Amino acid sequence: MPDDHPLALGVTGDNGFHPHAHKAIDESDTLLYVGCKMGSVSTIRWTKPSARPGARILQIDVDPTMLGNNYENQLSVAGDARLVLEDLYALLREVTSKHALSDWVRQLNQEREDFWERSVSQIGSDAVPIKPQRVIDAVNRRLPESAVVIADAGTPTPYIARFLRLKGSGSRFIIPRAYGGLGYAIPAVVGASLAKPDARVVGMFGDGSLGMSTGELETLARLNVPAVLIHFNNSTFGWIKALQAIHSGRRFMSVDFTPREGSSVAKAFGIESYHINTPDELETALDVAFNHDGPVFLDVVSESELAEFPPVYSWGQAE
């Protein structure tokens, strides 16, 4: 489903949330969760949806032990998501085709449009170090119809969740959102490319993640995986450092690295690599990367989470 579709309202939960999507959850009379465990991240510690009289929750999951774990469901359906939705579509097709978008949906879309207008100054910023949201916007402008974007936990997570805009046509966004395992993106890029060879694969990760799976760069080089690898280089465990700033009075421990060039590491594995300091260098390197038939490593010197807190709902509340 393309992200500009009138019924695709955006990301909910703690990391990279869209305010209009939260409003949709808070005001809905009925919520249907498909293949979602309704865990602590997607519900912001089970505060969304809030308990409201008359609100109904429906849940579909292939694993019956997931049904009704975290909320009291009005209806639970154990089944394969695709098969259940195909049956539901057949039942609803005659009904839904008779109705245009409601005033409520139009209002939510107006708020979504206002949100993106407010975001222009952020995603178009020419600041140095480069803002992570500026990187996401630059990638958006180059993504083809079919793409698989994979993110590691840490710096890329909230920015991609908030600012990435996929065009549909089988595109996917994959992230270890619940458990936040570092080092996931680089090996996952290999798997995504093998599983969907017709799609453009993009992997994004921070310093900590690169340190945990650097060796997999050899796999990408040996298999000549045509992937765009974007390293957010801010010389820190940014997510952890931000948590220490919020909850530990800015007493930082074991979160800072010696500044380094990840591009030199990737180059040693035979991967075409670029060390990027400015937005202009970013634009040029992305043009090369998206037209290359093998892996390209973009080492982007980016802004730290402490310079401006990422869009994480609970952090905003704590701040």
The per-residue pLDDT for range 28-84, each reduced to its tens digit, is 999 999 999 888 888 999 999 888 888 999 999 999 999 999 999 999 999 999 999
What's the confidence (pLDDT) of residue 282? 98
For the record, the structure tokens of 277 come out as 């300091």
CA angle, residues 141, 146, 149, in degrees to nearest 5: 70
* Run of H or E residues at 22: helix 19-27
**Confidence (pTM):** 0.93
- The per-residue DSSP string of 251-291 comes to ---S-B-----HHHHHHHTT-EEEEE-SHHHHHHHHHHHHT
228 within 8 A of 204, measured Cβ to Cβ: no
Residue 205 identity (one-letter amino acid)? F
Q: What's the average model confidence in pLDDT over 100-120?
A: 93
175 contact partners, CB below 8 Å, separation of at least 6: 150, 151, 152, 153, 157, 160, 161
If you average pLDDT over every residue of the chain, what do you get?
A: 93
Say yes or no to pLDDT of 96 above 70: no
Q: Which of 34-43, 83-92, 277-286 has the highest mean pLDDT?
A: 277-286
Residue of higher predicted confidence among 259 and 229: 229
For each of the domains in the chain, give its residue range(s) and CATH number, in order of start: 19-109 (3.40.50.1220), 124-318 (3.40.50.970)
For the record, the structure tokens of 125 come out as 């910023």
